[in-house]
Chain A
Amino acid sequence: MSASCSDNVINSHPEAEARDLNNKASVKIATAALTGLLAVISLIAPAVTGAGGVGVQIPAPSAAALSIPSKEEITLLVTDSGLGGLSIMAETAARLKGAGIARKVHLVFVNALFSNESGYNSLRSRGEKSLVFSSALRGMERAVRPDAIVIGCNTLSVVYEETEFARTTRIPVERIIDPGVALFRRALERRPEAALVLFGTETTIGEGTHRQALAASGIPAARVHAKACPELAAYIENDWKGEEARFVIASYVDEALTALPQPKPPVYAGLVCTHYGYSRELWEAAFKENGVRLLEILNPNSALTDRLMQVMPAGRFKETAIDAQVISMVEIAAAKRKALGNWLGGISPEVAAALANYQLRPDLFEWKSLVTPR
């Protein structure tokens, strides 16, 4: 299994990437050593993998980790840095109504973003990201007392395992990585001639978690490409069908497809940022403009909801009452709430209403003392 995450990554900031090479080299050596150790262990011990193959595996929380207690009322917390995860909560709300998993489900979305002037991708190091996210999770736990947590964010999902919260919590936590990897793997196995291009934030792409997991499940690294899309989530939040989002998506798609080898294979587009699915039509248009055959847009958001429905104990009640709440430490502009509310309302009026009436809690969690100012 390759330990390198830098293959097939298309950079938007090549100069910034060059400055980090020396630091990343030592990380890659350590990663290679750990991977080799895991490979040896996997040969001598039976393994059940959440990624669908036997052999080297990425430690996966998977279905066993998310064990919803058998209570009549359940509180399910969904978190994201920004509002992409709301789409997951909306789909979950719609599907829970008839699932009968509880008499009542309280769905609470908590925005893990700590500042409108910054974000996890702007933090200096992995260490800072995990410290801030751990603090956010502790704040959420105090405020909401959830029965389970769903990390509806690829960036935070890749950071989660390093948090102090992950090491000590008893609350079941589900990440979006595993369902995403399974979705991508199934698609690539169906079409052996196809390539996959992952679009995500700098952190998600830089960590290479999806690519490592796919390689571990037997997908050749040459079939998987990755494109970091700085700030795209912000453009989509402001107006998911607007010109700015359209042009920025077109630019990133063009850069990604230009970097593919000739002759260009048919392509799956993997959206590994939970925001990107809001602008599905813009992604389709961008691929059409480039003349590359797009087989399908693969959005792990729905795969995560599928996973939640599978692991929750269904059929215990005739129907489930849903209420929804949105909490944020930072202000969510009225224009954003309106734009996304229109999208969400088509799936879950409860979640759309919760966003419109969100609760602002400026002291939800501490972060300033955990980061080095620039």
Chain B
Amino acid sequence: MKSKSMFIVCLLIMLAAALAVAAPQDKKGLTFSASEPVLLTSAGQSADSQIVKVLLERNKIAVKFLPLGGPEDLAGIKTLVIAVGGSSKGLGAAGIDADKELARVQKILDQAKAAGIPVLAMHVGGISKRGELSDRFISQVLAVSSCLLAVKEGDQDGFLTQTAAKGKVPAQFVERISELQEPLKSIFGRK
């Protein structure tokens, strides 16, 4: 009887350990690290890029902010940070449509890859930045990203997790936008 109980306890401990190893999300201590200066651009033209800018600046990370940046803007840059989130209003205000934005983003991603510049994707808009428009940009950017930081609310259907896993992109999810500061500090060596 005693050995049966011990066996069940050991089984439970092994199961817990296996689950901890298998779960890629919310993993504390991403192995991804990056250098400055950073070029911050948008994929989708939502004002979420303003949120990412504040997160970077508050942690004194040197950032050049160009929502409509192009490949030529990567000169001298060590990391490309992309705030992913589609906004019809943002696209309209910028005078472009979704296809032109996808083309612009693709050019900068291609140049980053050619220059060996890692891409950090950030999705901070939660559920409001999910849907047909945003998901196109998410798929595009995560296909070539080195890391994803995101607010959990935007992943209720697992799309971000699955897309990141498909590209073998390490990902960290947080409950609130302000909690993204810790992984950013870790990535840029501010800890």
Binding site for B on A (CB under 8 A): 12-13, 15-16, 19, 117-119, 121-124, 202, 230-232, 234-235, 238, 243-244, 247-248, 250-252, 254, 374
Which residues of B have CB within 8 Å of A231?
46-47, 87, 89-90, 93
Q: Is the CB of A118 within 8 A of B88?
A: yes
Given A13-B67, A247-B50, A374-B97, verify A254-B57 contact (CB < 8 Å).
yes
Q: Which of B46, B68, B93, B97 is close to A15, meaning CB atoms less than 8 Å apart?
A: B68
By Cβ-Cβ distance, the 9 closest A-B pairs, closest first, are A122-B92, A251-B50, A231-B47, A247-B51, A117-B88, A15-B68, A374-B97, A243-B177, A251-B54
A293 to B53, CA, bound (A): 23
Q: Is the CB of B47 within 8 A of A232?
A: yes
Q: Is the CB of B88 within 8 A of A248?
A: no
Which residues of A have CB within 8 Å of B46?
231
Closest Cβ neighbor of B70 among chain A residues: A15
Given A13-B67, A235-B47, A374-B97, verify A251-B88 contact (CB < 8 Å).
no
Q: Is the CB of B53 within 8 A of A251?
A: yes
Which residues of B have CB within 8 Å of A15?
66-68
Closest Cβ neighbor of A289 among chain B residues: B58
Q: Is the CB of B50 within 8 A of A234?
A: no
Closest Cβ neighbor of A233 among chain B residues: B89
Closest Cβ–Cβ distance, residue A191 to chain B (whole Å): 29
Q: Number of A-B pairs whose CB atoms are under 8 Å?
A: 75
Would you call the interface of chain B mostly helix, strand, loop, or mixed? Answer: helix
Which residues of A have CB within 8 Å of B16?
none
Closest Cβ–Cβ distance, residue A18 to chain B (whole Å): 10
A201 to B55, CA, bound (A): 23
Which residues of B have CB within 8 Å of A250?
54
What 1/0 mask marks residues of chain B from 7 to 20 whose CB sits below 8 Å from any chain A CB? 00000000000000
Closest Cβ neighbor of A238 among chain B residues: B128
Q: Interface centre among A121, A122, A124, by most B CB within 10 Å?
A: A122
Which residues of B have CB within 8 Å of A119?
89, 92
Which residues of A have CB within 8 Å of B96?
374
Closest Cβ neighbor of B48 among chain A residues: A244
Q: Which of B47, B68, B128 is close to A248, meaning CB atoms less than 8 Å apart?
A: B47
Which residues of A have CB within 8 Å of B94?
13, 16
Which residues of A have CB within 8 Å of B25?
none
B118 within 8 Å of A (CB atoms): no
Q: Is the CB of A19 within 8 A of B177?
A: no
Which residues of B have CB within 8 Å of A243?
176-178
Which residues of B have CB within 8 Å of A248?
47, 50-51
Closest Cβ–Cβ distance, residue B80 to chain A (whole Å): 17
Which residues of B have CB within 8 Å of A230?
47, 89-90, 93
Q: Is the CB of A244 within 8 A of B51?
A: yes
Which residues of B have CB within 8 Å of A238?
128
B95 within 8 Å of A (CB atoms): yes
B183 within 8 Å of A (CB atoms): no
What 1/0 mask marks residues of chain B from 159 to 191 whose CB sits below 8 Å from any chain A CB? 000000000000000001110000000000000
Which residues of B have CB within 8 Å of A251?
50-51, 53-54
A235 to B51, CA, bound (A): 11
Which residues of B have CB within 8 Å of A252?
50
Given A238-B128, A251-B53, A374-B97, verify A122-B67 contact (CB < 8 Å).
no
Given A231-B46, A232-B47, verify A19-B88 contact (CB < 8 Å).
no
Closest Cβ neighbor of B69 among chain A residues: A15
A119 to B46, CA, bound (A): 14
Closest Cβ neighbor of A123 among chain B residues: B92
A1 to B32, CA, bound (A): 56
Q: A230-B89, A244-B124, A251-B53 are in contact. List 12 more A-B contacts (CB 8 A).
A: A15-B68, A16-B94, A19-B95, A122-B89, A124-B95, A231-B46, A231-B47, A244-B125, A247-B55, A247-B177, A251-B50, A251-B54
Closest Cβ neighbor of A203 among chain B residues: B93
B residues 89-106 near A (Cβ < 8 Å) are 89-97
A230 to B50, CA, bound (A): 10
Which residues of A have CB within 8 Å of B97?
374
Write 12 A-B pairs (CB below 8 A) sorted by A numbering: A12-B67, A15-B66, A118-B89, A230-B90, A231-B87, A243-B177, A243-B178, A244-B51, A244-B124, A244-B125, A251-B51, A251-B53
Closest Cβ–Cβ distance, residue A170 to chain B (whole Å): 34
Q: Which of B67, B92, B177 is close to A244, meaning CB atoms less than 8 Å apart?
A: B177
